[in-house]
Structure formats: C-alpha cells, structure tokens
Amino acid sequence: MSIKRSFGFQTRRNFLYGLGASVGSIAFTNLLADEPSDIATQPGPLAPKQGHFPARAKRCIFLMMEGGPSHIDTFDPKPKLKDLHLKEFVREGKTKSAMESGKRYFVQSPFGFLKAGRSGADMAETWTHLRNVADDICFYRGCQVDSVNHPTALYQMNTGNRFGGDPAIGSWMTYGLGTLNQDLPCFVVLPEISYPQGGAANWSNGFLPSNFQGTPLRPQGSPILDLRPPEGISTDHQRENLDLLAKLNQRHHAQHPSHDELVARMQNYELAFRMQMTVPEVLDIGNESAATKSKYGIGAQPTDAFGRRCLLARKLVEKGVRFVQAYAGTWDSHDYIERAHGNLVRQVDQPIAALINDLKERGLLDETLVIWCGEFGRSPDNGVRGGTAYGRDHNPKAMTLWFAGGGVKAGHTIGATDETGAEAVEAVHHVRDVHVTLLRLMGLDDNKLTYFHGGRFKQLSQFGGKVIQDLIA
C-alpha cells in the first residue's frame, strides 16, 4: 500500500502513519475498517486544495520546444562568435563540446539581434511578433541540466529525473493543488502528431495515483477517442451503467481498502462521463471570432498547428485546467541552423505572442504562469560538413528559458553565459532550482510536496533545491 503525505487536509491514514510504528500502527488497522466504503462520500483527489504559500499563479502553460533550441540564435547574442567564426575550437579545461567527435569550429549566429521593448530584451531578428510583448517576459540565461541526450534531458526537464518513471511537473502541481474544474482533466498535454522522444513518460503520473497523469489531446481527428457515446447510447443509459459499475466496485473496495488503483479507476470513469458533456465545447475553436483565430495564425502557414495548440491552451486554463503543456518539435538543428531555426521561429512566434496578449486582455496573465524552454541549449561550436551547413550540438551547461505572468519579473533578463555562450556564468542554477521556483510561484513548497514511495518521501526536485529569488517579482 502506498502511503501519501498530503497537505491541505489531514486524513486519518496520514495522521496515524505519522505516529510511527507503536500504538498508532495498532490503531491504524482497526480504524481503517471503519472508514466509509462509499467513495463518493470522500473528498476527491482532484478537489481544489490550499497550497503552502499564497500563490502568485493559479494555473500554468508550459511551452516545450522539443529538440533543444539554440540560446545563441534566439535570445542570447554572442558577438564574439563573429570574430571566431570557423576558427578551430580547442578544448581546454571545462570548455568542451557536448558532442565529442571530429574537428570542431566556432560558428557565428546567422541572425542579427534587436533590442525589444522598453526593457531592451535581446531577441533574434526572426522574432517579429514576440518582440511586441518583450516587456511581459522574464528571460533566464543561467539554467543548466545534466544530459546531452534528448530522451533523458526531456525526462529531467519534465519530471526532474533523467531516467523516467517519476511524475511530471503537471502531475506534481495537480497533486498539490487539485483542479479548478471537476469536469475536465487537471493536466492536459497538446503534443504534435509524433510524440516527443521518451514518449508519454514525459507527462506520466509516475508513482502518484493515476488521477494525476497528463491527458494528451490528439492533434488530428477527435482530440480524445470515444469522446462521444456510441450511436444509440443515451446519456441516461450511460449513467445507469456507471451507477451499477460503481456499486460493484465499491463492494470490492470495501473488501480491499488498500486498492488505490481501483479508487482512481472509479473516479476516472466518472470524469470521462462528465468530459463527454464538457470537452467538445471547450475544444471547439469554431466558436472563437475570426479576429482571434487570425491573431493566433490559425488558417495560415506555417502558424496554424501551433496556433491551434496555443489557443486551446488559453481556452483550457480559462475553463479551470490547472496545467497545460504544448509541444513544438524538431529544434535539433545540427545543420543548416539558419533555415531550420528560422522556420521553427516562424511557426511559433505569432501564436506565442497572441497567447500572451490574449491572456493579458482577458485578465488572466497575472495569475497564469507561462514558461518557454527546451531540454538543453546548443554549443558555440560544431563540425563543418561543407558549404554553409552550419549548425550546433547539444549543450547542457547553457540554455535560455523565459517566463511570463504568474509573479515573475516582467521586462528583466536574469543570468548570463560566457562570451561564446558555452557555459552559464551568472545566476547559475541547476534545473531542479527552476522546478522549485515554479512550484513556489504556484504556492507550493517542494520540501513539503512529497509522496511516500519506494521506502522514502519523494519530491519533484529529487533531493531539494533553492528558489531562484531573482526571477520572482
């Protein structure tokens, strides 16, 4: 039996567990038999809960640029590379490429940079829309991770654990805070047609109850399979079937009170039924105005696909979904970075700017934390395979993330990398500190947001971290 360490309310199970293995454990078994067997009478695991601190943000939209966008070619200009362009890269001391094979050469950015907004934020010239909301953004250049491999780096960014199997950030947040709409999933994922490297483990509930796993919405066809009941099956018929199934399950649960998965399955049946009533309307962007869809780039190329995901993210958080993650992939530009990153920026630039403006116009941005990141940064050097096919390799020691809304320092740039962008040198923090900071902005304490599993209390940061105070307004 997994024993939860929760907060916001103290169940008899958790209280007695805390008494230790003496008199409390004797009483524990006896009292369990007296707990009500009707699951409907107990507080649901997704019910809204109080955090540990006053929250700066109530909801979170996580924009994941899978593949590792280059900080040097997006938000962290390195003019020194112009002087070093195509000079041989010599590995000395800590200065090493993420990818170790072959002769290496420094590579300058093919993009010019501009100062955007009153804050003078650095942005590559390719960001023609995002520069208009530069003063709403807090750029952070001090993050470091541990892995140069995509699956393990994605796992670490999404779950804190390079090797997978742990709960995703969205699972931890919804475990700690519950959901604001009982008729919708608490944690929704908007992937591309092809899942990111590492697959669905990037939004897994891990060792948390299955109520907290991410719910992926398909980008084509019906967003969720079987969202509509089969032809000839009425809502009343479904309700009768669920009521009968609930009676049978509750009878079984009374005989096996430690069967947590059964409880989660019963609650998921009920959620699925409620979703059939609610989700189709929420996911229908046809009821949005033509002007709104145009702002997101919907109906145009190359912005249509990510524009739809960004608009859906706004609609979902507006309806009370606690955590939404939207993916944009193929940022792994080892060659032809001018063409590759140029096209990728054009796909996401307008939708992201529209998302920030839309949240602001609706009065949602102050209480919505928006995050933009990849799984690592890119190197200042690369091999040269002929012509102008310059690209960059993986770099775990330097990357740029940015945040908007939700209590962060808008219009600021925090941290710095060295003169070539190879390594973070100011306000340097491991990604675990970023995770701890995200939880704090949502009103959660990483050291108290724990779950007993495998013989110990586990947490998102793995073994603790520091809040990055420089990011918080």
Cα separation, 292 vs 311, in Å, equals: 9
Please check whether residue 279 lies inside any domain of the structure: no
Domain assignment of residue 369, yes or no? yes
Q: Which two tokens stand for residue 131?
A: 């520069």
Residue 408 forms part of a structural domain? yes
Mean pLDDT in runs of 10 for the chain (473 residues)? 42 46 37 41 75 96 98 98 90 58 85 97 98 98 96 98 95 95 90 94 95 85 56 56 61 64 58 55 84 96 96 95 96 93 98 98 98 97 72 94 97 98 97 98 98 95 96 97
Q: Which residues pair with 416 in a beta bridge?
A: 426
State the Cα–Cα distance between residues 26 and 150, nearest whole angstrom. Answer: 49
pLDDT of res. 283: 79
CA distance 459 to 468: 18
CA distance 393 to 233: 54
* Whether the predicted model's global pTM rises above the 0.85 cut: no
Q: Which residue's structure tokens are 């805070």?
A: 177
Examine residue 193 and state whether it is found in any structural domain, yes or no. Answer: yes
Alpha-carbon gap, residue 275 to 269, rounded angstroms: 10
Q: 302 preceded by cis ω (within 30°)?
A: yes
* Cβ atoms within 10 Å of 320's Cβ, excluding its own: 17
In a domain, 18, yes or no: no
Residue 347 has a pLDDT of 98
Is 306 a domain residue?
A: yes
266 inside domain? no
By residue range, what is the domain housing residue 451? Answer: 36-220+287-471
According to DSSP, the β-strands at 377-378 and 394-395 are antiparallel
Give the CATH number of the domain where residue 365 resides: 3.40.720.10
How many domains is the chain built from? Answer: 1
Residue 255 lies in a domain: no
